[in-house]
């Protein structure tokens, strides 16, 4: 059966798309996962892959042409299949033309009334499929790169009243776990995905409508209308079933820890003030026991919270001589990290420049700066500010690579790598060169707190032009990083080490810090990277110059 492929929504703000290049032509065999075309959105040119298998029967938008989201882009089906009804009607369902194609021309000419009756019956069926007032809620696209989502927590259950703006569920994307609010009012009639289950974007998530409405037909037709989604999801639901047994105890274990501050579904009850303070301090709310009504976390719980001290994670007991392992399903974030970093490592020619800076003046500067009341900056804040100022002088390091051009950014948005339990996120400090050290310090603390509580929004993780990764707090002297594309460089920052150094011909005790700059050789030549590091050295070894 032929499948209609519509113009996809590849970014949150995308309203129309332009086909930059078709990578397949009519008649080509298509496999699931093949790249069909490159589509230019309002933010970038992105690859669009097929979720169906078959033969490319029709191309609706030629290269260079633009159309609205959800308009006909292409048709995939069986070789030789008649798709005239689809190309003429556009919006016609795939079942209708298939049944019509079985009729001979004589039958069509002889029974025009039957055809009209069939059409009216189809219209009646469609209206019956979606009762009045019923809204089908699909899996939303919550980030530019999101292809599928996992329901972390349902905050409503079947039968609950839902108002516009209510939070329906928390959905795990490839970047963060985000709250998904309802844009409709009514009663939650059906939940299509249980907690922990995953589905592609636009798959059935839930159904909202008038109380008591029978939606069994809508559920059945939703699953029938996308047969290929079933094929894709079937192995996922079977394979993870075995894996969910491994994961389920983990989720429950986390929920039982703060048993007094949430519901049975795992939802946390937190006062707005307590939530704000927790974000500022970077406290994981799931580790806090609430003292309020129904285990609600209040301000005093956050202020009195002391992280549980442990001697480190305790490994599972395994008898000597026995092999043992545990399979853990990859989270959406882990899949995204793997995809992005693999693509960066094997598409951008990396090279590395390493330096060692004298930190004596930086230590004295920070100590004196933090004597000001209500002011606290870290060494990382100093590095971020120094990078921002140096990038203004070396725009080629603050650039992006495209196939036909190189973009030199005149603004400086610095991504700061933050480790979270599921992996790594890179929130962005916008216009870092225009911000003071105090503002940068406050912004980084705020973003890091949100990252650890999985509350970062896509907007807070987009648009970086350069990235800083710091492992100094873990005692790492030196390391190299993989470039966070589309950036052209990333700075790896080690810890400050007290060691013997030579000054004025004398061996004295000094403090130094090693840094490594990974560059994309397509945009940043060796001399350009070296000049950037020289400028950076001037700022970090004499931080007072950043205030001038």
Q: How far apart are CA 171 and CA 164, in angstroms?
A: 18
Look at residues 461, 470, 467 and name the one whose alpha carbon lies nearest to residue 177.
461
Q: At what angle do helices 360-369 and 379-393 cross, to 10 degrees?
A: 110
> Is 127 in contact with 221 (CB distance < 8 Å)?
no
Please give the C-alpha separations between residue 376 and each of 366, 368, 440, 497, 541, in angstroms, as whole numbers.
9, 10, 11, 22, 19
Angle at 367 between CA 366 and CA 371, to 5 degrees: 110
**Total count of residues recorded for the chain:** 548
Distance of CA 485 to the CA centre of its chain: 14
Q: In the 8-state DSSP scheme, what is residue 152?
A: E
Q: What are phi and psi of 270, to 5 degrees?
A: -135, 140
Tokens of 486: 């589309």
> Is 4 in contact with 77 (CB distance < 8 Å)?
no
Tokens of 146: 């999101």
Write down the H helix ranges in 287-328: 299-303
Please state whether beta strands 54-59 and 29-30 pair in parallel, antiparallel, or not at all (unpaired): antiparallel
Q: How far apart are CA 436 and CA 442, in angstroms?
A: 10
Please give the C-alpha separations between residue 93 and each of 96, 105, 212, in angstroms, as whole numbers.
6, 21, 28
The dihedral through the CA atoms of 170, 173, 177, 178 has a sign that is negative
Tokens of 393: 């002088």
366-393 in b/e form (b: 16+ CB < 10 A) is beebeeeeeeebbbbbbbbbbbbbbbee
**306: Cβ–Cβ under 8 A, 6 or more apart, which residues?**
none
Active site residue ranges: 521, 525
Query: Beta-carbon neighbour count of residue 472 at 10 Å?
Result: 22
330 upstream amide cis, omega within 30 of 0: no
**171: Cβ–Cβ under 8 A, 6 or more apart, which residues?**
139, 140, 142, 149, 150, 151, 152, 177, 178, 179, 180
> Which helix or strand (DSSP H or E) is residue 400 part of?
strand 399-401
> Is 288 in contact with 306 (CB distance < 8 Å)?
no
Please give the C-alpha separations between residue 39 and each of 91, 403, 405, 547, in angstroms, as whole numbers.
22, 14, 17, 45
Look at residues 142, 96, 187 and name the one whose alpha carbon lies nearest to residue 459.
142
Q: How far apart are CA 26 and CA 31, in angstroms?
A: 14
């Amino acid at each position: 059966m032929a499948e209609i492929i519509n113009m996809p929504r590849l970014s949150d703000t995308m309203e129309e798309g332009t086909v930059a290049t078709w990578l397949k032509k009519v008649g080509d065999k298509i496999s699931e996962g093949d790249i069909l075309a490159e589509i230019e959105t309002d933010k970038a040119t992105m690859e669009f892959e097929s979720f169906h298998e078959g033969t490319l029967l029709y191309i609706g938008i030629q290269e260079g042409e633009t159309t609205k989201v959800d308009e006909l882009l292409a048709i995939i089906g069986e070789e030789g299949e008649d798709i005239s009804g689809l190309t003429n009607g556009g919006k016609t369902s795939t079942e209708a033309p298939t049944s019509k194609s079985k009729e001979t021309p004589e039958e069509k000419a002889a029974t025009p009334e039957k055809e009209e009756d069939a059409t009216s019956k189809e219209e009646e069926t469609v209206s019956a499929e979606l009762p009045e007032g019923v809204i089908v809620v699909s899996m939303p696209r919550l980030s530019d790169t999101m292809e599928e989502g996992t329901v972390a927590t349902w905050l409503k259950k079947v039968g609950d009243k839902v108002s516009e703006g209510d939070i329906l569920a928390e959905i795990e994307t490839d970047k963060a776990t985000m709250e998904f609010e309802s844009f409709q009012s009514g009663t939650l009639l059906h939940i299509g995905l249980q907690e922990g289950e995953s589905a592609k974007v636009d798959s059935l998530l839930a159904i909202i409508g008038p109380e008591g409405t029978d939606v069994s037909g809508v559920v059945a037709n939703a699953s029938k209308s996308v047969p290929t989604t079933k094929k894709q999801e079937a192995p996922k639901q079977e394979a993870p079933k075995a894996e969910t047994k491994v994961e389920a105890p983990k989720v429950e274990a986390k929920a039982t820890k703060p048993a007094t501050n949430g519901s049975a579904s795992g939802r946390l009850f937190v006062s707005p003030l307590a939530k704000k303070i927790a974000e500022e301090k970077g406290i994981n709310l799931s580790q806090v026991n609430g003292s309020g009504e129904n285990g609600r976390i209040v301000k005093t719980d956050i202020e009195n919270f002391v992280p549980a001290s442990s001697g480190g994670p305790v490994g599972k007991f395994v008898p000597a001589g026995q092999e043992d392992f545990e399979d853990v399903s990859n989270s959406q974030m882990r899949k995204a990290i793997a995809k992005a970093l693999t693509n960066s490592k094997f598409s951008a020619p990396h090279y590395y420049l390493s330096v060692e800076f004298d930190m004596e003046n930086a230590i004295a500067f920070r100590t004196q700066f933090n004597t000001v009341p209500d002011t606290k900056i870290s060494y990382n804040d100093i590095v971020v500010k120094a990078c921002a100022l140096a990038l203004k002088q070396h725009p080629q390091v603050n650039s992006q690579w495209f196939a036909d051009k190189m973009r030199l950014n005149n603004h400086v948005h610095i991504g700061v790598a933050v480790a979270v339990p599921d992996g790594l996120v890179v929130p962005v400090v916008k216009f870092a060169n225009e911000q003071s050290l105090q503002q940068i310090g406050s912004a980084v603390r705020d973003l890091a707190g949100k990252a650890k509580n999985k509350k970062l929004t896509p907007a807070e993780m987009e648009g970086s032009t350069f990235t800083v990764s710091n492992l100094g707090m873990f005692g790492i002297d030196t390391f190299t990083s993989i470039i966070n594309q589309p950036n052209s460089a990333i700075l790896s920052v080690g810890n400050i080490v007290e060691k013997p150094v030579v000054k004025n011909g004398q061996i004295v005790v000094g403090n130094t810090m090693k840094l490594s700059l990974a560059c994309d050789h397509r945009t940043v030549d060796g001399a350009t990277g070296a000049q950037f590091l020289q400028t950076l050295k001037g700022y970090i070894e004499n931080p007072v110059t950043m205030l001038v």
